[in-house]
Amino acid sequence: MAPSKDRQRKLARAKFDRQMARRAVRERKRRRVLAGAGIAVAVLLVAVGGAWIGGAFDSKKDTTTEAADVCLWSPLDTSANTDLKDVGTPPTKDLPQTGTETMTIDTNQGAPITATIDVASAQCGAASFSYLAGKKFFDNTDCHEILDIGAVHCGDPSGTGQGGPAYTYYDENLPVAPAPAPSASAAAKPAVLYPSGTIATIGNPAGSNGSQFLIFFKDYAPTTDPIYSIVGQVTGGLDTLAKIAKIPTVADDTGDKVKPKEKITIKSLTVAAGTAAAAPSASAQS
């Protein structure tokens, strides 16, 4: 007997998740290679810089030093993807690196959803959300999918899954699965890496984040390598999130039953400074 359409969709979704996971692994390997090369270059630059400051190249000593870039925003070609919206890029220096920030998502589904953004663990994600919120990038946009992994998919103004700002940034806070348990039976059950209420970025492909994000309304234990970078946790508006979770879905243009039957509209998304603080520049520390 031929498999049902629902099973075909589930198999297709599982295949997609595996592909995304493999891409993420390749991307992490590439970044480790680049990081190794970067360390070598950094050591050389430190040596040259030390000689420069020591006066080996100039009789005058310059005691001012620029703060290092915290995040890298990779540009995208908006002519190749018309679903992208160019609103510039966040700053690269003097970004908050500690503490938390507060995100407030006001939707048409009830009381605002509030969340704490973990700046220390997701510096670039926090910086991107704060910057885009300041540009009102998320305002009056729809959450276009409710996924069977137990999450609502938001942050794409085009509603296609291909939209976002004209830049991407790398993963930075992927959860790590615990070491395998001694018991084979215990190890057979995947660990919950995305608890209910988790807010995580979703890239297309994996590892290239923009504005799209997931809000998990139930625990998710991935069976492949995790591919969603965690940026925060919902702290309020749980009734609203529970209401969204119950909205029925219908097939989208690709045939996947993920399109909300009722519109889920973000009326506004704001980010307010909490206990976050920018790291002092090298000159300020001297």
Beta strands in the chain (DSSP E): 74-75, 84-85, 96-98, 100-107, 113-118, 141-142, 145-147, 151-154, 164-165, 167-168, 198-201, 213-216, 229-236, 249-251, 257-260, 265-273, 277-278
Most confident range, picked from 1-5, 30-34, 79-83, 175-179:
79-83
Angle among Cα 47, 51, 56 to the nearest 5 degrees reads: 155
Is 141 inside a domain boundary? yes
Pick from 3-7, 176-180, 253-257: least confident: 3-7
Q: Give pLDDT, residue 18.
A: 53
Q: How many CB atoms lie within 10 A of CB 175?
A: 17
Q: Is the backbone of residue 65 left (phi > 0), alpha (psi -120 to 50) or beta? A: beta
Say yes or no to pLDDT of 16 above 70. Answer: no
Could you give the percent of the chain with pLDDT greater than 90? 61
Distance CA 171, CA 70 (A): 13
Q: Give pLDDT, residue 275.
A: 56
Q: What is the CATH number of the domain that holds 148?
A: 2.40.100.10
The residue whose two tokens read 């663990």 is: 121
* Phi, psi values for residue 235, rounded to 5°: -120, -15
Residues 31/53, Cβ–Cβ less than 8 Å: no
Q: 159 or 15: which carries more pLDDT confidence?
A: 159
pLDDT band at 205 (very low <50, low <70, confident <90, very high): confident
Is 205 inside a domain boundary? yes
Q: Give the residue-averaged pLDDT of 37-42.
A: 43
Is 80 inside a domain boundary? yes
Q: 65 or 57: which carries more pLDDT confidence?
A: 57
pLDDT band at 49 (very low <50, low <70, confident <90, very high): very low
pLDDT band at 5 (very low <50, low <70, confident <90, very high): very low
Mean pLDDT in the chain?
Answer: 80
Write out pLDDT tens, residues 212-235: 999 999 999 999 999 999 999 999
Q: 121 or 69: which carries more pLDDT confidence?
A: 121
Q: 94 or 197: which carries more pLDDT confidence?
A: 197
The residue whose two tokens read 């997931």 is: 214
Pick from 4-18, 223-237, 246-260: least confident: 4-18
Q: Give pLDDT, residue 195.
A: 97
Is 57 inside a domain boundary? no
Q: Which domain holds residue 273?
A: 74-177+190-277
Is 119 inside a domain boundary? yes
Q: Enumerate residues 6+ apart whose C-beta is below 8 A from 9.
A: 255, 256, 257
Distance CA 95, CA 126 (A): 9
Q: Give the residue-averaged pLDDT of 100-117.
A: 97
Say yes or no to pLDDT of 100 above 90. Answer: yes
Tally the domains of the chain: 1
Distance CA 161, CA 145 (A): 9
Is 130 inside a domain boundary? yes
What are the b/e assignments for 196-235, b being 16+ CB within 10 Å? bbbbbbbbbebbbbbbbbbbbbeebebeebbbbbbbbbbe
Is 50 inside a domain boundary? no
Is 83 inside a domain boundary? yes
Q: Give pLDDT, residue 69.
A: 75
Write out pLDDT tens, residues 150-186: 999 999 999 999 999 999 999 999 999 887 766 655 5
Distance CA 255, CA 42 (A): 49
